[in-house]
Structure 1
Amino acid sequence: MEETARHPLVVARLARDMTIKEFVTGIRAAAARRGLRSGTDEARVRKWQRGVEPNAESQMYIAEALGWPADVVRADDWPNWLPLTADGVVPLGPHSSVPALREAQRTAMERRTLLTISGAALSALAADWAHGPTAALAQVHDGKPIGEDFIVFLENTTRELASLDTEQRQHTAVLLDSYLSTVTDLLTRGRYTPALGLRLHTLAASLSQTVAWHRFDLGRHTHASQNWIAGLHNAYAAGDHDMGAGLLGDLAYQAAWRNDHTTAASILNHALTRAQNPAARCLLQLRLARTLAARDGQNERRAVLRALAAAEKHLNDAGTDRPAWCAWVSEADLAVDSGQALLDLGDIGRAHQLITEGERLLPAARDKTRGVFLTYRAASYLDQKEPEPAAAAATQSLLLARRIGAPRCVKLVDDLLPRFQPYRQAQGVQEFLQLAAA
C-alpha cells in the first residue's frame, strides 16, 4: 500500500484533489473530445497506480484529465513526465524528496517555464518546513546495490566543482545537471541503508542548490525555484535544518530580487526559526534587513537595524565550523549588505562607505560577487550625484561580468543605464554607455 501511495500518478491526482471516479470521468471526457471512447474505469486506474504502464493514447488522456496539455506527455518515460503539482510546489512529506527532484527536472525540459510559483505557495512551504519533524526522514531502500565508494566519489567531485573559481564555474552547468540526475536515480532505484540515504539526500540538496544558482544567474527563475524547492525537500529528509534554512534563504533572495519583499520577509522569518549555525543566521539576518529596508525603509527602520545588529553578532560568533553553502559569509558581505540596507533608509554617506569597504575586502576568488558589489557601489555614487566614479564602477562590473559569464551582473548594470542618461557629458559616462550598448 505504501508503494501505491507513493506512485507519481497518485501524487499528481491528489495534488488536484481528484477522486479516482473524477479522474476516470476526466479521462473519458478527453477521449470524447476526440470523438473516441475510452474504456478506462476505476479498476484500470488502480492498476496504473500499482505500476502497470498505460499506453501512449491513455497517457494523453491522463495529462488532459490532470489539467495539462497532451504535449507534456513523453510516453517512453512513464510515469516520470507526470506533473505533480497544481501550483508548482510539491508538498513536504516523508516521501516527497524524489518527487520534488523529478518536478525540477521536468521544469528544466522547457515545457512549463510559464508556470509562476506564487508567493503564498512559497510562504506556505516555508511554514510547513518550520513546523515539521526534527529528525531525519531518510529510510532504508531496496533496489540495485550502491557502493559507499561511489557515493564518496560523487561527494568529492561535487565539492571540487563547487570550489572552482567563478570564471570556471560557468562551464559546469551541464556536468552538475548530470550529477544531480545520477543522484536522483540512485535515490529512486538504489539499495541503501538510512545512513547512506542521508548522505544521498544531503548530496541532492547541495547539488540542487548549486544548479538553482546557475539557473537564477541566467534569469531562469522558474527553474531556479524548482531546484531550490527540491533541495529543501532533500535537506528536510536529511534532517539538516541549517541547510533547509539556507535554501529557504535563497528562495527569499529570489523573491526580493523580483521585488516581492513581503514573500521574502515571510520566508526568512520561517527560516530563522530553525537555523542554528551563526554563519547561517548571519546570512539570513542580512537578507532580512535588506528586504525589510527595500519594502518600507522608513517604517521598518528599527527592524532593519535590529537585523543588521543581529547579523554582526552572529558573524562575530561564527567560527570555522560552517556549512559549506555559507562558508563564504564574511566582513565583506556584512559591510555591503549593511550599506545597501542603509541606502534604502536614506543614510547615503554611511552606505557608500560600507559598500566601498566591502568591495575592497572581497577575496579575488569571488569575482561574481565582486561584480554585484561594484554595481551597488555605482548606484551609491549615483545617489550622491557623482556620475564619474559611478561610471567607473559600472564599467568595471560590466567587463568583469562579461568575462566570467554572469548574466545577472549584466542585468544589474543594465538596470542602472537610465540613471546615467542625465550625465552623458560627464567624464567616462559616454564611454560606459557605448560599452553597454556593444
Structure 2
Amino acid sequence: MEEPAHPLAVARKARRLTQDALAAKVRAAARLRGLRSGTDRQRVRKWERGTQPDEDSQFYIADALELPADIVRPDVWPTWLPLTTDGVVPLGPHSTVPALREALRTAMDRRDFLTISGAALAALAADWAAGSTAALAQARDGKPVDDRLITMIEESARQLAGLATEQRQHTAVLLDAHLTTVTELLEHGRPAPTVRLRLHALAASLSQTVAWNRFDLGRHTQASQYWIAGLHSANAMGDHDLGAGLLSDLAYQAAWRHDHTTAASILTHALTRAQHPAARALLHLRLARTLAAQQERRPALRALTAAEKHLSDASTDRPAWCAWMSEADLAVDSGQALLDLGDTGRAHQLIAEGESLLPPARDKTRGVFLTYRAASYLSLNDPEPAAAAATESLILARRIGAPRCANLVRDLLPRFQPYRHAQGVPELLQLAAA
C-alpha cells in the first residue's frame, strides 16, 4: 500500500514550491524576525520523511506557507498542517480517517482560511458518482474494539440527535467527543469487520449531524469538512443513498451561499447513484430550488414533478437521514421555487399549506418556513402578515439557538423598509436591532 504524502509535502506542492524554494522562504521568515535559519533542501526532505522541526522552525514554516501563526502547535507536528491541496481529501480505500481528521482539525483550529472552492466540491461529487465502493480498510494492529462500546456510542448519538430542537444547541461538545472517539477507534483500533462497518456508519451520521450544527452557526468551512468526512465513511460502507444525501447537504450549503452552479452540479452527480424514493425526492426538490433561483423554469418544474412522484412512492421505511422528508417540505420548498419563478399566488398557497402540515417538533424548520411565508407576503405587497411571520421566526430562532434562521429574517429587513409605518413592522425592526 502506498503511504500517503506527508502533510508538509502536500502543503508545499499546493503552493507549487520545490524543496529548495520552501527552504528559501523559511530562511526569509527567520530573517524577518531578526534571526537566522540554516534550513536547506536536505532539511526540508528530512522533515517530509518524519523528522520533527524545532518550535521556531515550525513558525517559519507557517510563514513560508502563508498560514496563520495561531494554528501552529509544535507539540503535535505535523497535525496542524492542512492535509489537502484544496480542502478536499480525495476518495479512496484509506481516506475516511484522514477526512475525519481534517474535519476535526478544521474545527479545532478555526481554519476558516481554508476555503473550499465550488470546483473542488463539484469534482468530489463527480469522483463519487464515477467511482466504485472501496473495501473497508482493515487495521493491521491496534487493540480490539468491544462491540458493547459501539452500542453505547450508537445509543447515545441516537438520543442526542432525537432531542427537541431547543435542546440540541447544547449538544455540540458531546457530539464532537463522540466523533473524536469513533475516529480514534477507526485509526488505532482493531475491530471485527461488522464492528468496523458500524463505526463507519457512526462516523457518517455523526459527521452529518455536526455539519448541520456548524452550518446553522454560520461556520461554513467547518460544515463542509464534516459533510465531506461523512461522504468518505458512506462511500466506504457502500451506502450510495447516504452518500447522495451528504452531497445534497453540500449542495444545499452552496445554494444557501448563492453558488447555484455548484449546487446544481453536485445534485446532478448525487442523483446518478441515489436509489431510495425518499432520497431521490429530496435531491430533486433541492435541485428544483437551485434551478428556480437561476430562472431555469422548465427544468425546475420537471424537478418538482419528479420530487412529488418519488415522495409518493416512498414507504415509511426510509433512511434515517431523510426520514423527516414530508409533504410539508415538498409543499414549502415547491412554493419557494415558484416564488423565485414569479408565480407568487400559487407559491403563497403552497408555503401556507406546508407550514400547517409541519410537526411541532421541527422548530428549526418552522423558523425557516416562517421566513418563506414572510417573503411570500412581501411579494404580495402585504406587509402586516409578513411582519408577523418574520417576528415569530426571529423569536423562535433566538429561543432555540438557530442563528441561521435569524439571519434569514435579517436578510428580509430591507424589504420591510418601504412599509416601516405598517402594523408590526416597527416592532420587527426594533426586535431585530436588539
Q: Residue 189 in 1 paired to residue 185 in 2?
A: no
Deviates more, 1:413-422 or 1:136-145: 136-145
CA contact (8 A) 2:304 2:334 kept: yes
- Written as runs of structure 1 = structure 2, the 5 A alignment for 1:389-400 is 389-400=385-396
> 2:390 is paired with a residue of what secondary structure?
helix
Amino acid at match of 2:317: D
Shift of 1:70: 4.9
Seen in structure 2, the aligned counterparts of structure 1 residues 404 and 197 have a Cα distance that, compared at 3 Å, is same
Match of 2:423 in 1: 427
Match of 1:145 in 2: 144
Seen in structure 2, the aligned counterparts of structure 1 residues 399 and 16 have a Cα distance that, compared at 3 Å, is same
Q: Distance in 1 between matches of 2:45 and 2:278?
A: 50
- Written as runs of structure 1 = structure 2, the 5 A alignment for 1:35-74 is 35-38=36-39, 41=42, 45=45, 49=49, 53-64=52-63, 66-74=65-73
Q: Distance in 2 between matches of 1:244 and 1:10?
A: 30
Shift of 1:52: 5.0
Q: Residue 162 in 1 paired to residue 158 in 2?
A: no
Q: Residue 388 in 1 paired to residue 384 in 2?
A: yes
Q: What count of residue pairs does the alignment treat as equivalent?
A: 429
Q: Residue 306 in 1 paired to residue 296 in 2?
A: no
Q: Residue 412 in 1 paired to residue 411 in 2?
A: no
Q: Distance in 1 between matches of 2:11 and 2:189?
A: 23
Shift of 1:60: 3.9
Q: Could you give the per-residue CA deviations for residues 233-254 of structure 1, whole angstroms, max 9, x where no partner exists?
A: 1211222111111111011001
Match of 1:240 in 2: 239
Amino acid at match of 1:5: P
Match of 1:125 in 2: 124
Amino acid at match of 1:431: E
Match of 1:324 in 2: 320
Seen in structure 2, the aligned counterparts of structure 1 residues 346 and 32 have a Cα distance that, compared at 3 Å, is closer
CA contact (8 A) 2:260 2:291 kept: yes
> 1:210 is paired with a residue of what secondary structure?
helix
Using structure 2 for the length normalisation, give the TM-score.
Answer: 0.93
Structure 1: where are the runs of 5+ without partners?
A: none
Using structure 1 for the length normalisation, give the TM-score.
Answer: 0.92
CA contact (8 A) 1:140 1:193 kept: no
Match of 2:74 in 1: 75
Q: Could you give the per-residue CA deviations for residues 186-213 of structure 1, whole angstroms, max 9, x where no partner exists?
A: 1111112333222212211111111111
Shift of 1:139: 2.9
Shift of 1:136: 4.2
Seen in structure 2, the aligned counterparts of structure 1 residues 418 and 64 have a Cα distance that, compared at 3 Å, is closer
Seen in structure 2, the aligned counterparts of structure 1 residues 141 and 392 have a Cα distance that, compared at 3 Å, is farther
> 1:109 is paired with a residue of what secondary structure?
helix
Q: Distance in 1 between matches of 2:345 and 2:357?
A: 19
CA contact (8 A) 2:71 2:109 kept: no
Deviates more, 1:138-147 or 1:169-178: 138-147
CA contact (8 A) 2:88 2:120 kept: yes
Seen in structure 2, the aligned counterparts of structure 1 residues 27 and 193 have a Cα distance that, compared at 3 Å, is farther
Match of 1:262 in 2: 261
Shift of 1:333: 0.2
Q: Could you give the per-residue CA deviations for residues 409-438 of structure 1, whole angstroms, max 9, x where no partner exists?
A: 101111111111111222222222222222
Q: Could you give the per-residue CA deviations for residues 315-362 of structure 1, whole angstroms, max 9, x where no partner exists?
A: 111112211110000000000011001111111111111000000000
Q: Distance in 1 between matches of 2:113 and 2:132?
A: 33
Seen in structure 2, the aligned counterparts of structure 1 residues 128 and 366 have a Cα distance that, compared at 3 Å, is same
> 1:312 is paired with a residue of what secondary structure?
helix
> 2:108 is paired with a residue of what secondary structure?
coil
- Written as runs of structure 1 = structure 2, the 5 A alignment for 1:335-350 is 335-350=331-346
Q: Residue 369 in 1 paired to residue 365 in 2?
A: yes
Structure 2: where are the runs of 5+ without partners?
A: 31-35
Residue of structure 1 aligned with 2:22, choices 26, 32, 37: 26
Match of 1:208 in 2: 207
> 1:82 is paired with a residue of what secondary structure?
coil
Q: Could you give the per-residue CA deviations for residues 368-423 of structure 1, whole angstroms, max 9, x where no partner exists?
A: 00010011001101100111111111111111111111111101111111111111
CA contact (8 A) 1:137 1:236 kept: no
CA contact (8 A) 1:5 1:11 kept: no
Seen in structure 2, the aligned counterparts of structure 1 residues 292 and 32 have a Cα distance that, compared at 3 Å, is closer
Match of 2:33 in 1: none
Q: Distance in 2 between matches of 1:145 and 1:65?
A: 42
> 1:5 is paired with a residue of what secondary structure?
coil
Q: Could you give the per-residue CA deviations for residues 53-87 of structure 1, whole angstroms, max 9, x where no partner exists?
A: 44434444554555535543211112322211232
CA contact (8 A) 1:265 1:292 kept: yes
> 1:328 is paired with a residue of what secondary structure?
coil
Seen in structure 2, the aligned counterparts of structure 1 residues 190 and 66 have a Cα distance that, compared at 3 Å, is farther
Match of 1:357 in 2: 353
Q: Could you give the per-residue CA deviations for residues 168-203 of structure 1, whole angstroms, max 9, x where no partner exists?
A: 111101111111111111111111233322221221
Deviates more, 1:222-231 or 1:84-93: 84-93
Q: Distance in 2 between matches of 1:47 and 1:221?
A: 32
Shift of 1:7: 5.2
